[in-house]
Structure 1
């Protein structure tokens, strides 16, 4: 139908141009011959006569086409031929209409996949070599956000997770770079059709137990929870981890600003306690009345006991980012295990953890670090079964972070194998 309409418009446009050219020719001839320039009324009459002549000529051609026996009339057999050709033309337009609608529907449905496919195939033409090298060194099995989204979807779909029975929640930093269309959170929110925000600065779940409880109570009846948590880090064109040139800015800024800011504050204080404290216990000790910057204060307090061994790491900001992951993981786990009515409301909880990597060019990435699911024993027994590790099923081999973190002891404290 669209093709038909376009073709008809082109035909009308051609006729209009022909009339215009004819009119211009008349005026030109009159001017050259010295004749008096026609008035507006005469112009209108001339245009009308031309149009009538063209219309009459087209009618005569059309009539001659179907008046096969040249009798001057359209007899019964000739009329049948006219109807037959009209029906063929109508069917052709219907086929074109269906084909156009189908193509348009497929294009709309696969536009995101097409973008991601093109991004993967063409990124070698515009990647920043130093940024790529730094990412592979510090985040060795990082994946494009679109690939992570599909891997999570494929794995959970096989376990019965669907947009209609699952509510997606995320604990990531509130930085706007994490909300770009190609980033993981917008992709997953679009996939699961909604998203509950648990995170604040640095990606810590500052919604707390109350926020997690609200999230839980929004789950569909006997439905499922999907939680993704991650700190984030930028890598600039020079390969500097923790830096990012943001859209519209010539200068490079910090990413994550909260995590790096906390690290700098601790450097200034030279405060690195030797005995690690549980992040959740540290959260309970915070005095909210002593500061107007409670989130950054909490990040500093949680990060302080985790900086031992940073001198042995390959990159201090990468080390801090992995420690931020450990803090968030601990807090999310506490929310899950310390919510008594969790499996009275949800039948299964899937938790994905990692690090979001912001890049100026070449696409945004995600370094997967954990993926497990917890399921209640039965509909009559709200007690959870042992966690099921889905990491290798979804993402393949685990990353070797020994050189990045500097020691096995550091990895053990973070529970990253």
Structure 2
């Protein structure tokens, strides 16, 4: 049955590997290729808050993971969070951020749903993204995410994907497309945060591993589709400045 699941996953994500394989490979890169001391590695994740996201063993090797992510995997900890993370890097160590969205797959290959531990029925994965997709599909009117202080992460997540509404709804598999869009959003935000806070890091290097996690039923292992692995040299990294709208040419030319 595992081969069947693997075939179903690789139909959509041909390069996906098991969480264990990805963990072993990239910890090996960090230790052997980059000569990083894993005992001094400060590890952070920008993954969805969903409890199902335990697809890799990074946290078993790298202690005390710092949580940057919230609903959908966006780095809701923001500038304050990345700055705290930067300050916590051990002397002589490196920083490592593992980020990306997740998506479920059923035993018969349907994306966007999964069977969770202890349950017989199917539920959404990523629940937050599938809720956003459901609201996008509302035919009763144009859905506009409105700020809600008791659900602000979901509101901001929905606002981040709404500019891509047509692209998502016209895709062959909208559940996959909204996940792809979110990967791009997380990628951009994580990179911006590192660039803005580059002078706060107690180290010279930041490693970034971006992926899409594919959740399967409890009896199978989950998969990770790696999209990018980067080493950022903080000394040569161009700093990103926060620019007030008042300083932009567009505003000056109003």
Assess if the C-alpha contact under 8 Å between 2:49 and 2:69 holds in 1.
yes
Structure-1 separation of matches of 2:43 and 2:165: 32
2:86 to 216, 225, 229: 216
Give the Å deviation of 1:311: 5.1
Unaligned runs of 5+ in 2: 239-254
TM-score normalized with structure 1 length: 0.53
Give the Å deviation of 1:272: 9.0
Unaligned runs of 5+ in 1: 1-125, 274-285, 377-381, 386-417
Structure-2 separation of matches of 1:128 and 1:160: 35
The equivalent of 2:100 in structure 1 is: 230
The equivalent of 1:252 in structure 2 is: 122
Assess if the C-alpha contact under 8 Å between 1:272 and 1:308 holds in 2.
no
Matched residue SS, 2:209: strand
Matched, 1:355 2:212: yes
The equivalent of 2:173 in structure 1 is: 315
The equivalent of 1:384 in structure 2 is: 237
Q: Which has the higher contact order (CA 8 A, sep 6+)?
A: 2
The equivalent of 2:15 in structure 1 is: 141
Matched residue SS, 2:191: helix
Matched, 1:291 2:149: yes
Structure-2 separation of matches of 1:212 and 1:317: 29
Give the Å deviation of 1:266: 1.7
Higher normalized helix content (fraction of residues):
1
Higher normalized strand content (fraction of residues):
2
Matched, 1:176 2:28: no
Structure-2 separation of matches of 1:322 and 1:139: 12
The equivalent of 2:26 in structure 1 is: 152
List per-residue Cα deviations over 1:142-177 (Å, max 9, x = no partner). Answer: 000011001111211121222222101001111111
The equivalent of 1:202 in structure 2 is: 72
Structure-2 separation of matches of 1:333 and 1:138: 26
Matched residue SS, 2:221: coil
The equivalent of 1:162 in structure 2 is: 37
Assess if the C-alpha contact under 8 Å between 1:133 and 1:239 holds in 2.
no
Q: CA RMSD in A?
A: 2.3
Aligned length: 236
Give the alignment of 1:356-375 within 5 angstroms: 356-360=213-217, 361-375=219-233
Structure 1 segments, 4+ long, off by >4 Å, are: 269-273
Give the Å deviation of 1:324: 1.1
Matched residue SS, 1:189: helix
List per-residue Cα deviations over 1:179-200 (Å, max 9, x = no partner). Answer: 3xxx21xx10112223111111
TM-score normalized with structure 2 length: 0.85
Structure-2 separation of matches of 1:334 and 1:266: 27
Matched residue SS, 2:52: helix
Structure-1 separation of matches of 2:3 and 2:155: 35
Give the Å deviation of 1:268: 1.4
Alpha-carbon spacing, 1:313–1:132, altered in 2? closer, same or farther (3 Å): farther
Matched residue SS, 2:155: helix
Structure-1 separation of matches of 2:64 and 2:20: 17
The equivalent of 2:163 in structure 1 is: 305
1:188 to 46, 51, 58: 58
